[in-house]
Structure 1
């Protein structure tokens, strides 16, 4: 008699998990290991078009739950500041709007909640209140009904941040179904973005495991699995790579030139990005005067930045800068309704493969380029005419995740616009040491071999489900 395969629900509360778990070989590996893989999909993305099994997840969390979530984040950041004696945690807070009466009422409730549930004990009660709040919702009951009917053996949440993941995970736990979540990004834990409380956690590295325990000591070490992140696996898929000629022709790049990638940030992270792009363009224009093979700039904007803020710079340097827009799909008005696509994975892989280096402000693209043995240059200065007088690049590099750099020599630091030309020239001639250091940083951040992350996740799910 054949054994019935175990069923796993891949909970997709928002689009950020698509890239890691729908556009890689993750599902295929799980099916080869004998799992019946079903996406519990709360995004507008049609996964059936990829021949995946999916159950659409309808409903939404209670408004009060969202207030509790905001209070939890604020309270945890206050607690981290006190616990670690470090004011950096306050810089992760975003100012709340106070323009409308509704916003003022919400902010008053939020302030009271933060005051009431502070410290380790208070935050524990707040986490319990989050789950208790969702148990009162129609969304929770809907999730419970689906789970009772489908009877999955494991629920795997693709990231730990969305408030709408609380109800399905809580419903599963109340029914005795084991749950786990993947920590989505290398910078998430210091930001207090741990919104869900599953039974198991999947992290990138030993470094991230220690970080998780440091911030949340109530989590049992045995419930944390070190797997690496599937987001880097496409870099090892040779089928995604195109020839130089094919890629250049498709994207209007000049075959006689070599290209540097300028990787844009979102407006909040780097409001002065257009000015930085202009500085880089001017430096490369000067550099080209003494180069036989001319340089150009492949400009990849942040996928959720649809602003016109670069237009003037792009027009002024149209002979030098070629925009290669990310192939993300906008399916709504909010930033989290802009979803990645499989086509963009291919585009990003080839953008890295066919450029010499990347320039940006503090992006994790340093790791992507290191895997291709290519250097990264970090912009590390403030422009003269700042868009936001309260913003500084120093604030960005003071974030906790940059403290993971082993030596500080993992990137080339561009400390002024005057340094760009010379440092870029030097790194194009010899980047061996910088790339070597960047790889050491990557090995600290993400378990190697990086191409086996999906396989390791499934192996650990198998251990849990024995």
Structure 2
């Protein structure tokens, strides 16, 4: 059996290509082929980690034609409107991109809003327009180029590792024409309501029953038997001894004090504008704690945030703030895009040991709550607006649909004001069992357990 993995961008690399998923497939006699749109440097890193991957081919360069792009964006807007009604959650519309810079982009998105509104009036019209999008993609010159590639690669199965990438659409269209079986993973726990499932597949590989039910609710054309719960391989690294360093070694490498408790502040990307304000608030309040019991702060930026917006704060509080930057790399001159940025294998070690050796994590609604829950470590969610008259309200963040999965659980601790910070930190450090005691129950709703078996389940779903 030959399986082609579509690798449309760098964010798919860590969770799937660095995990044991590849080895699981190969152990079942599967020939694995990468069909990718990532940089040469990223491919070299993947080959270093997975030396048995020898069949690797770049996807031809693809730019959607204006009509196809307009259709895709209009359909996304239509589905967001439909999802808002079905879920009774107005924050779903916040996933629509309203920050276009050029006049051309502004015009495209305004027209997409008009067409999307019309499409949303009738679900059958959405399905017809999606069929029209597939037809439009099939007329593009890229279709024939990809058809030749697929003929050469000769797969029995094609698996897409990131469901929202536009480049996957012509590949799946070719696969349908050639009657090749297809599947996609749903990349992250918050992805389904965002209306960016571009193509339709024979099989959908999801994190949990929660995601399975959400997928059938929002995409009623997808049959329940097409969806397989397999979890996500991204948490398996925490169970592999080769990734875990001793606390002494990890702290020594990064200048941390082995005798102090450690608070990890994990920041979101630049679309979350007040992350520096939160870091400054945390540092200011921690600085007031008596030095004999004052914890140190391990600061981890969002991997795709390449700004310097935290530098002044780190310098000001350098006596107890220790930045450990994620090891994500970018080809020089390639621009800040998901196809050009990729995680080095070393970042797996950094993330595993950050979670293993810190005592508590603080952030604004980050997935890092789950990384820490693997080790039964508490998470504190920031739950106040750090700036008066802020344009990005914290209430909007926790109104997002994926946080509805917390209902009925004490999954995290809540920092409801700046003056809460030091008290909540000390409580979480001294009595971790009292801060978010249901964190593992929450995680079990989010992702299939046991966590270290998800690569096996994923590979089995492919070969069945």
Interval containing the TM-score (normalised by the shorter chain): over 0.9
> 1:78-157, aligned counterparts within 5 Å?
78-97=81-100, 99-100=102-103, 102-107=104-109, 109-118=111-120, 119-157=122-160
1:11 aligns with 2:6: yes
1:301 aligns with 2:304: no
- Give 1:59 deviation, angstroms: 2.2
Measure the CA separation in 2 of the matches of 1:264 and 1:398: 19
Measure the CA separation in 1 of the matches of 2:61 and 2:307: 31
Query: Structure 1, residues 1-22: CA drift from partner, whole Å, max 9, x if none?
Result: xxxxx10001111112111111
Query: Structure 1, residues 393-414: CA drift from partner, whole Å, max 9, x if none?
Result: 1110010100000424110100
1:202 aligns with 2:205: yes
Which residue does 2:421 correspond to in 1? 420
Measure the CA separation in 2 of the matches of 1:392 and 1:35: 48
Which residue does 2:58 correspond to in 1? 56
Moved over 6 A (4+): none
> 1:181-196, aligned counterparts within 5 Å?
181-196=184-199
Aligned-pair Cα RMSD in Å:
1.7
Which residue does 2:230 correspond to in 1? 227
Structure 1 residues 404 and 134: CA distance shift in structure 2, 3 A = same
Measure the CA separation in 1 of the matches of 2:209 and 2:292: 46
Which residue does 1:411 correspond to in 2? 412
Q: Secondary structure at the match of 1:253?
A: coil
Which residue does 1:324 correspond to in 2? 324
Measure the CA separation in 2 of the matches of 1:446 and 1:212: 15
Structure 1 residues 435 and 416: CA distance shift in structure 2, 3 A = closer
2:427–2:435 Cα contact (<8 Å) kept: no
Which residue does 2:37 correspond to in 1? 42
Query: Structure 1, residues 139-170: CA drift from partner, whole Å, max 9, x if none?
Result: 21111112222221100110211111101111
Structure 1 residues 288 and 68: CA distance shift in structure 2, 3 A = farther
Q: Secondary structure at the match of 2:306?
A: coil
Query: Structure 1, residues 341-392: CA drift from partner, whole Å, max 9, x if none?
Result: 2110111001111111100000011111011111000000011356xx3211
Query: Structure 1, residues 99-138: CA drift from partner, whole Å, max 9, x if none?
Result: 43x2344235424532443331121122112211111112
Measure the CA separation in 2 of the matches of 1:327 and 1:358: 19
TM-score norm. by structure 2 comes to 0.94
Q: Secondary structure at the match of 1:286?
A: coil
Which residue does 1:383 correspond to in 2? 386
Structure 1 residues 90 and 105: CA distance shift in structure 2, 3 A = closer
Which of 159, 163, 167 in structure 2 is aligned with 1:164? 167
2:73–2:109 Cα contact (<8 Å) kept: no
1:357–1:374 Cα contact (<8 Å) kept: yes
Which of 354, 361, 369 in structure 1 is aligned with 2:357? 354
Which residue does 1:3 correspond to in 2? none
Q: Secondary structure at the match of 1:322?
A: strand
Measure the CA separation in 2 of the matches of 1:415 and 1:203: 33
The number of residue pairs the alignment matches comes to: 452
1:363 aligns with 2:358: no
Q: Secondary structure at the match of 1:163?
A: coil
Which residue does 1:27 correspond to in 2? 22
Which of 234, 240, 255 in structure 2 is aligned with 1:237? 240
Structure 1 residues 435 and 397: CA distance shift in structure 2, 3 A = closer
Measure the CA separation in 1 of the matches of 2:153 and 2:463: 19
TM-score norm. by structure 1 comes to 0.93
2:204–2:228 Cα contact (<8 Å) kept: yes
Query: Which consecutive residues of structure 2, in runs of 5 or more, have no partner in the other structure?
Result: none
Measure the CA separation in 2 of the matches of 1:238 and 1:185: 25
Q: Secondary structure at the match of 2:259?
A: coil
Measure the CA separation in 2 of the matches of 1:384 and 1:85: 29
2:2–2:156 Cα contact (<8 Å) kept: yes
Which residue does 2:265 correspond to in 1? 262
Measure the CA separation in 2 of the matches of 1:436 and 1:426: 13
